[in-house]
Structure 1
């Protein structure tokens, strides 16, 4: 049995060779290395956004705690630290402006309250809010 030249050419061209596969794997590796900085930056940004979201939640929680106080003496300044789920230590500070008036005729009043959340490692303020809290009695 003799093999015609056209059929032998088809047999030699069937499939991919080892060189073609190695070159395509090399090109894919180059593309993966080129996109690696974008992936690293995305992971860093995601972590920073998670810490920022935690700071905002803490500010909202402390403002709700301040609004829940019905008396002027219940509104007190406080400072405490919280550990973020990513391991970042956050400092929450609630400040109360002004003092409670002694005269009962001075009520109802509004008391200024400010809440600030700060990263302890960098000192950066993540979130802050100011509000006036309505107080009916001392």
Structure 2
């Protein structure tokens, strides 16, 4: 028997996967453009390339851990006492879920730091 939370969790993972695909396309287009003009790289270009790559790594960690946890909850351990919700309650603090949540928090902090930094130099 599914609950509203399980349905929302599942739909959230799917929407995240769609947005992750958009992220991959934008990252690929950006890096392609920057690599095509490699001889004209400035220090700022290199910083943004490193920053974009770091953000991509962090979102990949988050997406991977969410997908693995969803698989564990709904497929591998669906017969846990209490069902998938019982598995969630028992394993919400499992190490890889904590790592994914930490990656998500660091991702948000990095994005906010970029916006604050851009605002301080009046680029926005």
Is TM > 0.5 for Structure 1 vs Structure 2?
A: no
Higher strand share: 1
Higher helix share: 2
Greater gyration radius:
1
What's the TM-score once normalised by structure 2's chain length? 0.36
- Higher RCO structure (Cα 8 Å, ≥6 apart): 2
What's the TM-score once normalised by structure 1's chain length? 0.33
